Amino acid sequence: MSDVQANPSAVVFDIGRVIIRWDLRYLFEKLIGDKAELDWFLANVVTEQWHHQQDEGRPLAEMVPERIAQYPEHADLIRAYATRFAETYPEHIPGTLDVITKLKARDVPLFGLSNFGADFWPEFIAGQPVFEGFGDIVVSGHENVAKPEPEIYAIAEERFGLPPRELFFIDDKAENIAAAKARGWHGHVFTGADALEAELAALGLL
């Protein structure tokens, strides 16, 4: 059996859309009453692609004034992105916390690897006791590189202190799992807690 086929010993969680529900729409549907206008705004002004700059390490102090200069008529909404970001992640994904609790009970080493902005991270992590007991969490905004770039997986390997074959990575994006597998990690494209729990059980982690 090759190394990559050997069963992993540690579990690495993505955060958004795996542990927590995240969508810019959760905030802006409160602020924009017309659905067509809301859809246009999320497709053109505060987009996930634009937000990804925050994941890559670009500070809000640069992003927000630049965007306001491009869309001055939406200045208040763009500022709301910066000041009310916590409203974009209103709740946890059903079942994932139960899976984490079961893994902790079995003393499985747990880690995090997330595309998350450094400016938003302190408020987020302060309200998330689920991460107590995690060995480490690699946050893209702190590293100035985001998934699926190979560099962030290399950083995680060094920080976690485990070889790729020992790591089982859970992420909602297939391209992020593909990048992990290219380095020899195990991977699971998250679609729900039940399928995840079944695969963890099959690997002997649960």
Structure tokens belonging to residue 75: 């200045």
- The answer, yes or no, to whether residue 39 has pLDDT greater than 80, is yes
Burial of 82 (0-12, 13-18, 19+ CB in 10 A): middle
Per DSSP, the residues of 91-123 read: SBPTTHHHHHHHHHHTT--EEEEE---TTTHHH
CA distance 204 to 95: 19
- Structure confidence by residue, pLDDT tens digits, 83-140: 999 999 999 999 999 999 999 999 999 999 999 999 999 999 999 999 999 999 999 9
Check whether 3 has a pLDDT greater than 50: no
Residue 42, pLDDT above cutoff 80:
yes
Please tell me what DSSP assigns to residue 20: B
Could you list the beta-strand ranges (E) of the chain.
10-13, 110-114, 136-139, 167-171, 186-189
**Which two tokens mark 181?**
């597998």
Residue matched to tokens 């810019």: 24
Give tens-digit pLDDT for 137-171: 999 999 999 999 999 999 999 999 999 999 999 99
Q: How far apart are the first and last CA of the chain?
A: 22
Model confidence over 163-194: pLDDT tens digits? 999 999 999 999 999 999 999 999 999 999 99
Instruction: Inform me whether the pLDDT recorded for 1 exceeds 80.
Output: no
Q: What is the pLDDT of residue 6?
A: 80
- Give me the pLDDT at residue 4, please: 46
Over residues 47-71, the pLDDT tens digits come to 999 999 999 999 999 999 999 999 9
* Band of residue 27 on the pLDDT scale cut at 50, 70, 90: very high
> Greatest CA separation found in the chain?
60
Per-residue pLDDT reduced to its tens digit, 82-91: 999 999 999 9
Across the strands, what pairs with 11?
A: 110, 168
Q: In the prediction, which pLDDT does 5 show?
A: 60
In this structure, what are the phi and psi dihedrals at residue 187, rounded to the nearest 5 degrees? -150, 155
